[in-house]
Chain A
Amino acid sequence: MADEKTLVKENPYTQTHVVESGETLGKIAKKYYGDASLYNQIFEANRDVLKDPNKIFPGQTLRIP
């Protein structure tokens, strides 16, 4: 799983988000994009660590493109 340090090394200007308990990609998309339907943007940017957009876990660090 890519941790924050690795993601920052990839591109220090790409925002990251550490998943909290009870969060979904939709909630995260709503927070950063104002629109939950854009959850797929986050899913696609994290295909290396996410196999299913409905399965994210607390503590995972995700890229927020």
Chain B
Amino acid sequence: MKKQLTWLMAALMAMVIIGCSNQKGAAEQAVAGAESALSAVRDTAQKYVPDQLAATDAQLAAVKESLAKGDYKGVLAGVPPLNTAIGALKESAAAKASEAEAAMAKAKDAWGSTSAEVPKMVAAIQSRVDILSKSHHLPAGVTKDALANAKSGLETIKTAWSEAMNSASSGAYSAAMSKAAAVKEQATALAQSLGMPSG
């Protein structure tokens, strides 16, 4: 009887050990799978949805902490929502990347006409500033201050335009168009202050 009880206890212990070992293996595999899935989307997510990536990283860290503590049940409960979060992260990052690509293509298209237009705008203002600088009396509606501001404003515009062209030549068309829009706005204001049409 005593011998039978010993065998029974040994068998139970073996089952517990095998059960724990199976759970540990499953937990480790689940965490490794989640880590791998997150790693695949990390770069894109970091660029387009960094906040969502940080939240997902926090979820992964919590699951890994459970694994380190040997809380395999906790790990196996935590991995499915983590995988859902990784899936959502992947979708969000892909959508944002697609939006950014579309915006870039649109900006690249627009840059073609803008890069021809702005220099003409600047040339027209420069020409008027040069002539007004020779004038003994300014025309009605144009003050000495306006002319002085136009002179300094033109230098600012030229610098900003140079930066916009640098952005475009490095392929950053969205940034280039954003800078070009600011240049056009400034140039329009300058032209109006000199009594010129703004195009």
A-side residues, CB < 8 A to B, are 11-15, 30-35, 37-38, 41, 65
Contacts and interface: CB of A to CB of B under 8 A. Distances in A.
Contacts of A32: 139, 195
B163 to A, nearest CB: 21
Contacts, number: 53
Chain B interface size band reads: 20 to 34
Interface string B158-199: 000000000000000000000000000000000100011111
Nearest to B138: A34
B132 A13 contact: no
Contacts of A37: 136
Interface string B47-63: 00000000000000000
Contacts of A31: 139
Given A12-B117, A33-B138, 19 more contacts: A11-B123, A13-B120, A13-B123, A13-B125, A14-B120, A14-B124, A15-B196, A32-B139, A33-B132, A33-B135, A34-B135, A34-B136, A34-B137, A34-B139, A35-B136, A37-B136, A65-B124, A65-B127, A65-B131
